[in-house]
Amino acid sequence: MSPRFSRFALSLLAGLTATFAAPAHAIPAPAAVLPAVPTAAEAPVALLVDLGSGQVLHARRPDARFMPASVTKVMTLYLAFELIADRKLDPAQVFVMSPAVASEWRRKGSTMFLDMGEAVRVDDLLLGIANVSANDGSAVLAEGQAGSLAAWTAMMNSAALGLGMTGSHFESPNGWPDEGRTFTTANDLVTLARALITRHPDKFGYYIGRAGFDYKGIAQVNHDPMIGKVAGADGIKTGFTNEAGFSYLGTARRNGQRLVLVLAGVDNGRLRAKLARAYVEWGFSAFDRRRLFEPGAVVGEARVQDGDARALPLKAAGAVAINLPRGSESKLVATIRYEGPLRAPIRAGQEVAVLEVTAEGIAPARIPLYAAESVGTAGPIDRIINAIASVFS
């Protein structure tokens, strides 16, 4: 079926227009002009997204494929978090560095200094991968859990496709140079970051974004360019090889707003750090964040077919807000989109629709909407009432 929008969405649209548009008799002010984007000429690939609304604040070649280098390890971390959530992996488990892994990965590139035959907890492997980019830790985790690196990367690719990362492919758990067989896109990395943060907030908070990692008495620092230097920064992962250049997937949160940024193909680490900090600061400062709905508010409703109710109230996961260039008086237009009518049964909390908010001169915000209550399958009496109501509707 084609996407539909409910009648309630029409009244919602009118409400937003009345609230935020300039009066009909006034001449609308010209659209505000954004300050220059700091990555515009220096990063071949750049993307900045408001994670809550999905609104793209800036994009430069977001679907171009590039080699992610060690940013690959974010997919390894995500897969591990999924397995832990499914009780198929335990942070207290112990894996051993096999002779095969030791011969290939001992002291190779970024390392947590594992040795052949050494036993190490999954918890330490995850901390080493996330904070000191441990190539050896990634390989030990992959072989220990999946039986081989090839089996682990097959799981990585399956998880990526499950998230809709259709522009990505992984050939290793750590992103070591492989003549371009491992690749991704900025849009796919934002999708991965969203899943990492929203599906596993506790694990994200515990494992990712530390200042460093001390293992076996060897202290190493995290080279993330934003941690400790940008307010609200959580880091995520840097990447570098001669083949790929310098890349970065990072995030920062302020006043309930979380931005995610991607940079790729940058010439050197110092420039990457400068661009990352300037980019995220630009994202927080160049826009006015206009709140449309408070957390828990009913945003609209969707029609329901064969249910014990004919309409379903919808709400977002949190507050609904959109970013407008500072000083902008652009009119907002909102539409609730879903494949409808929805079919019962529907459980409370189920994602069923999208609130799309648009304004002149900006990328649209698309906020997932969830069922505010459950709708059961219609009984005989409900079917009669629905049939009569449909005649007069």
**Mean pLDDT to the nearest integer, 171-185:** 96
Residue 207 one-letter amino acid:
Y
Q: Is domain 45-285 annotated with CATH 3.50.50.60?
A: no
Overall pTM surpassing 0.95 (yes/no): no
Q: What is the mean pLDDT of the chain?
A: 88
φ and ψ at 50, to 5 degrees?
A: -80, 115
**Model pLDDT for residues 39-60, shown as the tens digit of each residue:** 878 999 999 999 998 999 999 9
For 32-112, where are the E strands, in sequence order? 45-50, 56-60, 94-96
Predicted pLDDT at 142: 98
Strand partners, 343: 305
Please check the confidence at residue 145 and state whether its pLDDT lies above 90. yes
Please check the confidence at residue 77 and state whether its pLDDT lies above 90. yes
Please check the confidence at residue 191 and state whether its pLDDT lies above 90. yes
Residue 36 one-letter amino acid:
A
Note whether 3-23+291-392 and 45-285 share their fold. no
**Model pLDDT for residues 106-120, shown as the tens digit of each residue:** 999 999 999 999 999
Predicted pLDDT at 25: 29
- Domains of the chain, by residue range, sit at 3-23+291-392, 45-285
Task: State in Å, rounded, how far the first CA of the chain is from the last one.
Answer: 20
Assign 381 a pLDDT band (cuts: 50, 70, 90).
low
**Mean pLDDT to the nearest integer, 357-383:** 82
Cα 261 from chain centre: 10
Q: Residue 373 in contact with residue 313, Cβ under 8 Å?
A: yes
Residue 205 one-letter amino acid:
G
Please check the confidence at residue 26 and state whether its pLDDT lies above 60. no
Contacts of 3 (CB under 8 A, 6+ apart): 337, 338, 339, 340
Predicted pLDDT at 38: 87
Please check the confidence at residue 390 and state whether its pLDDT lies above 80. no
**Model pLDDT for residues 323-364, shown as the tens digit of each residue:** 988 888 888 888 999 987 899 999 999 999 999 998 887 888
**Mean pLDDT to the nearest integer, 373-393:** 63
**Mean pLDDT to the nearest integer, 69-75:** 98
Q: CA nearest 246: which of 38, 46, 12, 32?
A: 46
Residue owning tokens 């035959």? 117
Counting residues of the chain whose pLDDT is more than 70, the rounded percentage is 88
Predicted pLDDT at 4: 41
**Mean pLDDT to the nearest integer, 272-283:** 97
Predicted pLDDT at 7: 33
Please check the confidence at residue 23 and state whether its pLDDT lies above 90. no
Helix, strand, coil percentages, rounded to 5, for the chain: 30, 30, 40
Q: Residue 279 in contact with residue 249, Cβ under 8 Å?
A: no
CA 94/CA 194 separation, integer angstroms: 29
CA 262/CA 65 separation, integer angstroms: 13
CA 324/CA 265 separation, integer angstroms: 29
**Angle at 333 (CA atoms; ends 46, 325), nearest 5 degrees:** 45
Q: Which fold has domain 3-23+291-392?
A: Peptidoglycan synthesis regulatory factor (PBP3), Domain 2 (2.60.410)
Predicted pLDDT at 32: 54
Predicted pLDDT at 379: 64
Predicted pLDDT at 340: 76
Please check the confidence at residue 22 and state whether its pLDDT lies above 90. no
**Model pLDDT for residues 198-255, shown as the tens digit of each residue:** 999 999 999 999 999 999 999 999 999 999 999 999 999 999 999 899 999 999 999 9
Predicted pLDDT at 174: 98
Q: What is the DSSP letter of 34?
A: P
